[in-house]
Amino acid sequence: MSRRKKAKVEYREMEEKYNQIDDENASDTSEKSKTGLGTPEKKILPEPKKETSETSTAPKVEAKEEDEQDSDHEDPHVKELLTGLEGAAFQSRLPFEKLTSTEAACFLDVSGGPPQTQKVFLHIRNRLLQLWLENPKQQLIIENALPAVEAPYNSDPILVRRVHAFLERHGFINFGVFKRLKPLPVKKLGKVIVIGAGIAGLAAAQQMQQFGLEVVVLEARDRVGGRIATFRKSSYIADLGAMVVTGLGGNPVTTLSKQINMELHKIRQKCPLYESDGQTVPKDKDEMVEREFNRLLEATSYLSHQLDFNYVGGVATAVNQQGQTASTRPVSLGQALEWVIRLQEQGVKQRQVAHLRSVLSLQSRLISNQHRMIAIKERLAELNKQYKEMSESKSQSRDITQEFVIRSKMRDINNACKEWDQLAEQQKEIEAKLQELEASPPSDVYLSSKDRQILDWHFANLEFANATSLSNLSLKHWDQDDDFEFTGSHLTGRSNSYSAFRSLTTLKLLVIIVYLVAAIWVIVDY
């Protein structure tokens, strides 16, 4: 959807393989937005099934196809891709054949050593990641990891222990909800307070608890979960907040879903838009407006990244530490989109003016052509009259001078007829061009009122994806996370998202609900 910059984490080849497999298994549905960037999904709700003869005659086939496309980790191709060493590195958001800057800083002896040493390190790291991803429900301890590293890469047990400790310390292994094989230390190494009992706060608290720290979580609401909020009424369950898993490729939620047996299902992309009168938007119009929406985003990206048009204001007076002039302000994505739309509307008017000028030019040529044809017609009539008079008055004894005059008149008549034919042919060509211009005039407006309504839906969907209005999004930085977005289809849980953070509290985290009004701290054991 948006213009993408080069990724800092170089697993582009693996990502392309994953996307290729995902595209091959995807249903024949229209791809909505982008976005992309981080591109937003156009519709997240399943398309309502229509009771037609076609759907009613083959319900089993449709259900089978839907089941086959439900889950990404049920796909054998995806399983095969993500179980190898390369897949383990990709799923852990690490380059397969290259050290990250953090690894290079923590392992100076490896990064400064010969290439063979780096290859050994990378193989050990990828192998440990593979072992963890194969069984994420159980703690990967070094005693079990050492025998699983093949020769000759196991020749340096100390290096294996260092790599294992590094991966565990940075949360690449032994994270989430898993069975510990080693008990937690009785003596705590320190005390930590986590502000907020959302999914991030609970995950951080859980991880630090695994490191042997005493953790207390403070939450201002009367519930945990943060943006994850599940509504329950009788046997009905609905998620009111975060509920969509935006791809499994490189997503740690993939591991978490395996640990808590969360059943994930693909969100079908095919879902029609409806107009205010209840009629569905025609497919061709929907696709046309969506293409224009993507073109607008590409234009704003070009303004930002190619023309460096990211700030507006008066004449520059001074430059601050950030390199911004004192009289300028950053351009928002909403501003840039409206400016590009205005430029497009101006272009429409310019094309209209150019079209009318072309019509006027052809009409002027046609008028000039008609005047010349009228003059030739009058001239032909006069020449024909003179020729007839001379031919009727001729006698048997006419001299050579009279014969010359008669033949001259005939020559003039022939030349005038040829010129008439040429002008008649030009008239046909001019009239054909005029008919062509009149048959395909340029649009009177850039977007009709209905087209603008559909475009506004895409703008609203983009605001939904970014959780703020377009006027609050920076033109330069709004899509900065596009290079690091997860790959694969968007999914959602079959039941609800509450189980995800509920499972993170299995170690009896101490969550303190702070009631500011009553000024009382109530300790709730989750």
What confidence tens digit (pLDDT) does each residue in 248-296 have? 889 998 898 899 888 888 888 787 899 888 899 999 999 999 999 999 9
On the question of pLDDT at 71 being above 50, the answer is no
Q: How far apart are CA 353 and CA 360, in angstroms?
A: 10
Identify whether 92 is part of a domain: no
DSSP, res 138 = B
Residue 40: C-alpha distances to residues 245, 247, 338, 447 (Å): 12, 12, 20, 23
Specify the 3-state DSSP secondary structure of 377. Answer: helix
Q: How far apart are CA 392 and CA 406, in angstroms?
A: 11
Q: Render pLDDT for 98-127 as a digit per residue (tens, 0 to 9).
A: 999 999 999 999 999 999 999 999 999 999
Domain that holds residue 386: 337-439
Question: 250: alpha, beta or left, given left = phi > 0 and alpha = psi -120 to 50?
Answer: left
Identify whether 489 is part of a domain: no
Angle at 162 between CA 156 and CA 168, to 5 degrees: 140
Q: How many domains does the chain divide into?
A: 1
A 10 A CB-CB count for 323 gives: 7
- pLDDT band of residue 237 (cuts 50, 70, 90) is confident
On the question of pLDDT at 224 being above 80, the answer is yes
246 membership: H or E segment, kind and range: strand 244-246
pLDDT on residue 164: 97
Q: How far apart are CA 242 and CA 200, in angstroms?
A: 12
Question: Scanning the structure block, which residue is given the tokens 């709700």?
Answer: 45
Q: Render pLDDT for 314-333 as a digit per residue (tens, 0 to 9).
A: 444 445 555 555 557 899 99
Identify whether 352 is part of a domain: yes
Identify whether 325 is part of a domain: no
- pLDDT band of residue 516 (cuts 50, 70, 90) is very low
Mean of all residue pLDDT scores within the chain: 79
Identify whether 459 is part of a domain: no
On the question of pLDDT at 484 being above 70, the answer is yes
Identify whether 388 is part of a domain: yes
Identify whether 354 is part of a domain: yes
H helices of 73-170, in order, are: 76-83, 85-91, 101-106, 108-111, 115-134, 142-148, 157-169
Percent of the chain at pLDDT exceeding 70? 74
pLDDT on residue 523: 43
CATH code: domain of residue 382 = 1.10.287.80
Amino acid at 346: Q
Question: Across-strand partners of 491?
Answer: 245, 266
Here the tokens at position 93 are 């958001």
Q: Determine the average pLDDT of the residues in 341-351.
A: 93
Question: Scanning the structure block, which residue is given the tokens 């996370």?
Answer: 481
Identify whether 389 is part of a domain: yes
A 10 A CB-CB count for 133 gives: 20
Here the tokens at position 172 are 């690449």
On the question of pLDDT at 522 being above 50, the answer is no
